Structure 1
Amino acid sequence: MSGTLLRLACTAALAAQAALAPLPAAAAPEPRRSVAQLLTDLQQAYRQAEQATETYNATTGKLAAQRAEVKRLDGELAHARLALHGSRADAGRLARAQYQNSSGFSAYVRLLLARDPQQALDEGHVIGRVATERAATLDRLSGAEKRADTLARAARKALDTQLTLAGRQKEQRDDVTGRLSEVERLLASLTPEQHSEVSRLEQEGVQAAQRRLTESGALGEDRPASAEGGRAVGYALDQIGKPYRWGAQGPASFDCSGLTSRAWARAGTPIPRTSQEQWARLPHVPLDSLRPGDLVIYFPEATHVALYLGEGKVVQAPRTGEKVRISPLAANPVLGAVRPDAAPRRL
């Protein structure tokens, strides 16, 4: 059989085998998720994104404080080096003067050989004062050297910490953007009908949670706001309609704790930047004692916060893609509440 015929026969045989081989099973279609499952997935994605945002915010605050510390230490180190330079100059003058005035006789021998012992004694007192001044100069030099060395080590350590925080901040920023990409992917996968159903189901859940909260008696009668709380509420209400943006503290956009921390700062009472720090460091108050201006903290990890308005409502920067708005207090699972202008909480 010629080479050409042999190749044709092999090709035909392979084709026959392929035709007789069983076809691979078609991939099973992905099961259609229910609207409730879609809502659960979205809420989880939003929650993870906000938790990553608050972690990023905390590191950003630490990094800003560390940069200020590095700047302070650099300033102190510059002054210490100037002082050290001056002390070294004084020590140099001292060394030159000592060399020029040196003699081979001790003060005791000079006293014995002096024609006027009283004058020699007087000169001895002067020499004693000079010696004291020389000792003080050397002490200043030694102290300046130690201080400059200590500050140099502290400045290096502070700069290393700053660089570590900057690296951590970048990693956390990437984590936030990754979480938000997951939210965008989930939203893009929804049909218009699914999107409407998810929104409807979410609103029904919020309304049911608000009814349970009201009927349980957990919310007491409204109390008047303090002067500071009233100012914080006023500022927050003025921000309604501005977009949520992670990491933002205004004035053009806010994230949840950016809104509450800026509102209370404008009221004259600075508070911690993140919702976790607000929950950990501010005085806790029961829900039945809420007054306007108090902060309502959400989720077990304290990853969301809103500002209480009264009548069971809060003003909040909800999440990415939305705007600052008024919501029912039970818009998210409530962890508790804190009062920024109460007596300091003992930690």
Structure 2
Amino acid sequence: MRRGTVALAGLLFATTASVSGPAAAESGRPPGEPGDVGALLTELRALHQQTGAATEAFNETEERLVEQRAEVDRLTARLADTRSGLADARRTAGALAAAQYRHGGAADLPPVLRLLLTGDDPARALHDGTVARRAASAQLAEISRLTEAESQAAGLAGEATAALDEQRTLVERQRAQRDEAHRRLDEVAGLLAGLDEERLTELATLEERTTAEAQREFLAEHPPTDDRPGSAAGQRALDWALAQRGKPYEVGAEGPDAFDPAGLAMRAWEHAGATVPRTSARAWERLPRVPLDQLQPGDLVIYHDDASHIAVYAGEGSVVHPPAPGEPVAVTPLAVLPVQGAVRPTTRA
């Protein structure tokens, strides 16, 4: 692929309807042929979003898998503790039974005859018998409780293990979806590589104009408030994210040498003392939301209706993120993708 083609492919995914359906229809060529620029751009844009969504789905499944494994470990430990307690209780019960056996059949005699035959102090014998009966009763109750607990723990552990197997299957499915999206993306990038320099320049100019227009519309509706000072934590997160510029996009990467969008956001705020979910969808769901006209440096901007992309707000209407597969961490206009909203992490006390 020629120098600059990969960068162009990464930028063109934001191109909107101005280069879609009608242009393809007018060309008279089937979608996918090198000359069908409108169809190629539309497919490229869709594939970038699909790849990001597949990556986020893969990351989300990985997170659920980690949680499921922790639950399996917890239930397995609970089962082991219950079985250990049950074994101790059964040993104690066996010792009581052995003690009764060693006293011959005295335990089965009426209390008055046992007193006459033992020759022990009557008061002590009555006390010991009462204690023994209470101990035996308590031990039987403990055995019953632990037996029921063992059954419940074993059932829960079995359910957790079954769920873990389902999660592993889901991970493989998501990985296959991610790999398929990347394969299709490579196909479209290959078609773009077949275009001549004049057409590439034309497409780049069109993309820049479209992005600039989207940016103007966004800022007109949500004027930036950069005159307001942000938090020290937000600035630390932004400074750290900016220091990663130039590092490559890699699916599932959390640094230090490569990142995906959510991995960069998570690590940036980790260095600022806050916990950010591993996926942009979880960040959108769990973190405090902030109006788009009140953005501060370090805030996290969420993109697409499915919240499948995330970027760190850099101030003055820009964000830092790896924009798409094949694109390194960079500062871009905030409106380079359809904006869903924004969230603001909170630092630990």
Larger relative contact order (C-alpha < 8 A, sep ≥ 6)? 2
Structure 2 counterparts to residues 1-347 of structure 1, below 5 A:
30=30, 34-101=36-103, 102-103=105-106, 104-111=108-115, 113=116, 119-190=121-192, 191-193=194-196, 194-341=199-346
CA contact (8 A) 2:273 2:347 kept: no
Shift of 1:223: 2.6
C-alpha offsets along residues 128-179 of structure 1, whole Å, 9 cap, x if unaligned?
A: 1122122222222222222222221111111111110010011000001101
CA contact (8 A) 1:222 1:291 kept: no
SS for the counterpart of 2:121 is helix
CA RMSD of aligned residues (A): 2.3
| Partner amino acid, structure 2, of 1:306 | A
Q: 5+ residue gaps in structure 2? A: 1-27
| Partner amino acid, structure 2, of 1:218 | P
C-alpha offsets along residues 159-205 of structure 1, whole Å, 9 cap, x if unaligned?
A: 11111001001100000110111111011112243444333322221
C-alpha offsets along residues 259-300 of structure 1, whole Å, 9 cap, x if unaligned?
A: 111211222111211111111111111111110111111112
| Partner amino acid, structure 2, of 1:79 | D
| Partner amino acid, structure 2, of 1:214 | L
In structure 2, the CA distance between the partners of 1:216 and 1:89, relative to structure 1 (3 Å rule), is closer
In structure 2, the CA distance between the partners of 1:240 and 1:165, relative to structure 1 (3 Å rule), is same
SS for the counterpart of 1:309 is strand
The farther-off stretch of 216-225 and 64-73 is 216-225
Larger Rg: 1
The farther-off stretch of 62-71 and 119-128 is 119-128
Shift of 1:342: 8.5
1:10 aligns with none
Number of residue pairs matched? 314
Shift of 1:232: 1.1
CA contact (8 A) 2:304 2:338 kept: yes
Question: Identity of paired residues, percent?
Answer: 39
Using the size of structure 1 for normalisation, the TM-score is 0.84
C-alpha offsets along residues 213-237 of structure 1, whole Å, 9 cap, x if unaligned?
A: 2334533344322122122112211
| Partner amino acid, structure 1, of 2:54 | A
Partners of 1:213 and 1:322 lie apart in 2 by 23
Partners of 2:49 and 2:265 lie apart in 1 by 18
1:24 aligns with none
| Partner amino acid, structure 2, of 1:282 | L
